[in-house]
Amino acid sequence: MLETSNLSVSRGTRVVIKNLDFQLSQGDIVCLTGENGSGKTTMIESLIGILPITSGQVKWISNDGEPLIVRDHLGTRRKPLPFGLTLQSDGICGEEKVRERLEIALKVSGLNLNQDEIITALDEWGLSHRSEDRVSQLSAGLRRRLAVLSGMAPALFCETPRMIFLDEPSEGLDSFSRGVLKSWICELSEKGNAAVIATHDEEIMSYSTRIVRVESGKISETSNSIGKQEFKERKFSTEKSSQTISSFFSWGLSIESRNPIDTIGKATPAILALLLSYSIVGRTNAMNSDYELFSALILAPAFISAVVSPAMILRLSEQDCGKWWSAICGPQIRPATSVLAASIILPIPLTYLSWFVLEGSISGNIDQGTIYWLWLPSLVIMDISCAATALHLLVSDLRRSSAAVASLLLVVLIWPFIQLVDALSMILDTGMTWDLSTSSPLMSLIFASIISLMVWAVAIFIPDA
């Protein structure tokens, strides 16, 4: 189901995994053991493709025998086959509901259980009575139960054998939950699924078929045997093609509609900028046909909403939620996040609001037909917002993201903003034209969009290379 060849992974200057050859077959329950910091988590994160590797490759094998290189040392990264994952830090955003989290974990793996089956699964782990609660309202122990359940369910409820990866699943669980965990591990193996489990728990190790000790970048292995057990009869879900990116968008929109801190967080500084502009020009006489200054004031609120750090990035950083999505979705997660978290709703209404508030502050004959063309620079501000979000993502990937001065990276976006100001001032002065000369508003808009696209591409694709 999985194999690595000559796999080496470095963290900084330290080689954590060195020349690893590893295979995982149907029915294998592999427990990774070793001292803290020995590389167990690094090995799991390498096998699922979310860590760059310095040599070798990670290859997954489909049930049809087709190989898929999930990651290699050349920078190749592909979306993995459907699997289950529980991270050491749970990987769940606190805004999610308990039932919703299990549904998402199943949906991204191509499974769709009905509500009764969802509640039955939650009940096995003692969570059915909290199904409509937000994860932030759970205790640490119940949250861990949900993370482990969500990591194992994509394999347990599928008729086709799958892989799951569990990082310290028994940590934080009580005796009841540990019992359910051990039962599910045995059931997974009996039905041909495979699991890689990082653990210090000797009782969990006793339920494995292979014990792999990770030490000094290398592994040593011993075999183990587990007895046959009787399990409850389960109804398998019909397997469909996984829709990970669409599920990610649905997840993000659902959380934002539940608690719209992203929209409010972007709109508030934009409105403040508009009020400040109004208070400044309101204390002076009308501007004397200064179209460039007027255009800058009109576009500034939308631009500010575009470059403000999105709340979605904080949500994804919570309990390694973004890492979970990155593992499930593969390399598509970064461009998807840059669009989902970008300000694509606010630019048009903010630009028109600025126009109506500030229109009376400038003297001169402005063609009222100009108002119909305000949506053009607003569209390009959406491009700027995607680029700004990509830069914020780039900073959030750093080990000490809080120490990085993200605002310095955002300075590069002043260039496309200046192009937009030039375009709008030309529209105000001479009207909208569709020629492609260097002095036309359309060419300025195109330049602004191209610059934004270049910034976006650099911030999105370089980190995964």
∠ CA(142), CA(93), CA(51), 5° rounding?
Answer: 105
Same domain assignment for residues 327 and 426: yes
Domain endpoint, select from 189, 223, 257: 223
Domain endpoint, select from 223, 252, 287: 223
∠ CA(197), CA(40), CA(88), 5° rounding?
Answer: 65
Q: Is residue 304 part of a domain?
A: yes
Q: How far apart are CA 86 and CA 449, in angstroms?
A: 40
Q: How many CA atoms lie less than 13 Å away from 166 in the CB half-sphere?
A: 34
Give the number of other CB atoms < 10 A from CB of residue 110. 20
Which two structure tokens, joined as six digits, stand for 203? 């009782």
Same domain assignment for residues 142 and 177: yes
pLDDT at 370: 76
Helix H or strand E segment including 276 = helix 261-282
pLDDT at 325: 95
Q: Is residue 358 part of a domain?
A: yes
Domain endpoint, select from 223, 256, 287: 223
Alpha-carbon separation of residue 117 from 33, 111, 123, 236, 237 (angstroms): 34, 12, 10, 10, 10
Residues 122 and 132: beta-carbon distance below 8 Å: no
Q: How far apart are CA 18 and CA 211, in angstroms?
A: 19
CA 342 to chain centre: 13
> What's the structural domain count of the chain?
2
**Domain, as residue range, for 402:** 244-461
pLDDT at 233: 65
Same domain assignment for residues 218 and 262: no
Q: How far apart are CA 236 and CA 168, in angstroms?
A: 27
Residues 207 and 186: beta-carbon distance below 8 Å: yes
Q: Is residue 218 part of a domain?
A: yes
| Residue 186: CATH number of its domain | 3.40.50.300
pLDDT at 67: 92
pLDDT at 408: 74
Q: What is the largest CA-CA distance in the chain?
A: 88
pLDDT at 428: 83
Same domain assignment for residues 415 and 380: yes
Same domain assignment for residues 375 and 271: yes
Q: Is residue 233 part of a domain?
A: no
Q: Is residue 238 part of a domain?
A: no
Same domain assignment for residues 8 and 114: yes
End-to-end CA, the chain: 25
Q: Is residue 228 part of a domain?
A: no
Same domain assignment for residues 204 and 274: no
pLDDT along the chain (465 residues), means of 10: 92 85 93 90 93 92 90 90 94 94 93 90 95 94 96 92 95 93 90 93 90 85 69 68 87 91 92 87 60 88 94 91 94 93 92 86 65 90 95 79 62 94 88 82 94 93 68
Q: Is residue 437 part of a domain?
A: yes
Q: Is residue 239 part of a domain?
A: no
Residues 59 and 224: beta-carbon distance below 8 Å: no
Helix H or strand E segment including 196 = strand 194-198
Same domain assignment for residues 382 and 441: yes
Phi, psi for 3 (deg, rounded to 5): -150, 145
Which two structure tokens, joined as six digits, stand for 441? 């508003």
Same domain assignment for residues 181 and 114: yes
* Global pTM value: 0.90
Q: How far apart are CA 308 and CA 201, in angstroms?
A: 44
Same domain assignment for residues 92 and 189: yes
Phi, psi for 210 (deg, rounded to 5): -140, 140
Same domain assignment for residues 155 and 93: yes
Same domain assignment for residues 382 and 255: yes
